[in-house]
Amino acid sequence: MTFEELKALDEQYVMHSYSRFPVAIDHGKGATVWDTAGKEYIDFTSGIGVCSLGYGNEGWVSAITAQASKLGHISNLFYSEPYARLARELCTRAGMANVMFANSGAEGNEAMIKLARKYSFDKYGKGRGTVITLHNSFHGRTITTLSATGQDKFHNYFFPFTEGFRYADANDLDSVEAVAGHDVCAVMFELVQGEGGVLPLDKAFVQGVADLCAKRDWLLLIDEVQTGVGRTGSLFAFQQYDIQPDAISFAKGIAGGLPFGGVMANEKCRNVFTAGTHGTTFGGNPVAAAAACYVLDTVDQKLLDELKEKGAYLREQIEAMNLPCLGATRGLGMMIGIEVKGEHTNLELANRLIQNGLLCLTAGPGLRLLPPLVITKEEMDKGLAIMKAALS
């Protein structure tokens, strides 16, 4: 099928809730992908932070195919080994008590919000279901996670939205106190606001909120959907903030390209979900769980140390280019934001980079890079050379 034929099918049969770049990707290896006409691109996106081990990773493919030929699905009514192994690995490495599996980031957050509301209901009864989130945050596209998202542009069309969310300013503890009341059960935020523009939170603010949560018995909920699974240089970003949250959500990179997500909770919340209080048909699917076990085995300390260096290298090199359309970089590990300056928008710059063979993302008013964690120096240098030539 030519690109034009493929595009025509998409135009006719797909709901247009996305504006796509004019490229159809066919296959990939490492951090390099090829379109249907055979043109090569360096990938600084990982499918929006999902393909943590890049494309065509042989161990990942073997883990999936072995599990698929043994048992593709069985439901949550039965035990299965990949499920149990993954639960142990995740909880051990995150210092958490237990986990509930889902299929996406929004579902992980939805489960985390339900967990907080039920924790509070069980202990204090009705009337304490409000969750404080931050302005400029992003937590997903379900009606409830849109409510949790602290950006007005997401609070449109789909009325009525779920009640019980209040928004505070990032890095401003007074603002959190100002919206607090007797009805609060939790505070929820991303440690690096991803969709909002790659904005890392201050450690003092995060620790201040953690203290406030402990004092008032609010749950501290961290959305690690984008920051988790090594993306920021530790398995989860909270491990760089010297806090131990009550619950964290995860998704995106966990299964290296298969749909997966969930929420982990600490000892205090171990028994909040009881049989029948929450569930999902596909959550913990054995093939996706086997893929996730393989991803976690691969994301070891050595890989985490290396990716911190790679992230620092990319930022240094981009800043050293001194391009008139790009300003300062920011971020954590391999989650990188670049300020956009001058007359061109971030979308125009992204389009130009993609046309020239470098896949990249936008976030807030800037550019965003989320390369596969395993990207090589050679691939980074190719991508940087494309950036310099395309934007000079």
Of residues 188 and 387, the one with the C-beta less far from ligand PLP: 188
Peptide linkage before 160 cis (omega within 30 of 0):
yes
Instruction: Give me the least distance between CB of 361 and ligand PLP, in Å please.
Output: 10
Binding ligand PLP by CB under 6 A: which of 104, 329, 346, 362?
Answer: 104
Note whether 134 and 189 are within 8 A (CB).
Answer: yes
Using CB under 6 A as the binding rule, whether residue 371 contacts ligand PLP is answered as no
* Gyration radius of the chain over CA positions: 21
Instruction: Give me the least distance between CB of 200 and ligand PLP, in Å please.
Output: 13
Of residues 236 and 379, the one with the C-beta less far from ligand PLP: 236
Binding ligand PLP by CB under 6 A: which of 226, 232, 234, 362?
Answer: 226
Using CB under 6 A as the binding rule, whether residue 196 contacts ligand PLP is answered as no
How many Cβ atoms from other residues are within 10 Å of residue 166's Cβ? Answer: 17
Instruction: Give me the least distance between CB of 104 and ligand PLP, in Å please.
Output: 4
CA distance 392 to 218: 50
Using CB under 6 A as the binding rule, whether residue 251 contacts ligand PLP is answered as yes
Using CB under 6 A as the binding rule, whether residue 223 contacts ligand PLP is answered as yes
Secondary structure string (H, E, C) spanning 284-308: CCHHHHHHHHHHHHHCCHHHHHHHH
Q: How many residues bind ligand PLP (CB under 6 A)?
A: 14
Of residues 251 and 323, the one with the C-beta less far from ligand PLP: 251
Of residues 30 and 49, the one with the C-beta less far from ligand PLP: 49
- Structure tokens that stand for 287 in this block: 């093939």
- Structure tokens that stand for 321 in this block: 């280019």
Binding ligand PLP by CB under 6 A: which of 28, 82, 129, 140?
Answer: 140
Binding ligand PLP by CB under 6 A: which of 128, 139, 310, 382?
Answer: 139
Binding ligand PLP by CB under 6 A: which of 30, 54, 82, 194?
Answer: 194
Binding ligand PLP by CB under 6 A: which of 47, 112, 154, 190?
Answer: 190
Residue 164 CB-half CA count within 13 A: 20
Long-range contacts formed by 170-176: CB under 8 A, 24+ apart: 170/134, 170/135, 170/136, 170/137, 170/199, 170/201, 170/205, 171/201, 171/202, 171/205, 172/205, 173/205, 173/208, 173/209, 173/212, 176/132, 176/209, 176/212
Binding ligand PLP by CB under 6 A: which of 43, 195, 246, 379?
Answer: 195
Using CB under 6 A as the binding rule, whether residue 138 contacts ligand PLP is answered as yes
Buried b (16+ CB within 10 A) or exposed e, 235-259: bbbbbbbebebbbbbbbbbbbbbbb
Between residue 106 and residue 125, which ones bind ligand PLP under the rule CB under 6 A?
106, 109
Which segment (26-34, 64-72, 83-91, 188-196) binds ligand PLP by CB under 6 A?
A: 188-196
Between residue 13 and residue 42, which ones bind ligand PLP under the rule CB under 6 A?
none
CA distance 390 to 344: 13
Which segment (81-89, 134-142, 268-276, 359-367) binds ligand PLP by CB under 6 A?
A: 134-142
Under 8 Å CB-to-CB from 141, ≥6 apart: which residues?
A: 106
CA distance 266 to 96: 5
Using CB under 6 A as the binding rule, whether residue 368 contacts ligand PLP is answered as no
Binding residues for ligand PLP (CB under 6 A): 104-106, 109, 138-140, 190, 194-195, 223, 225-226, 251
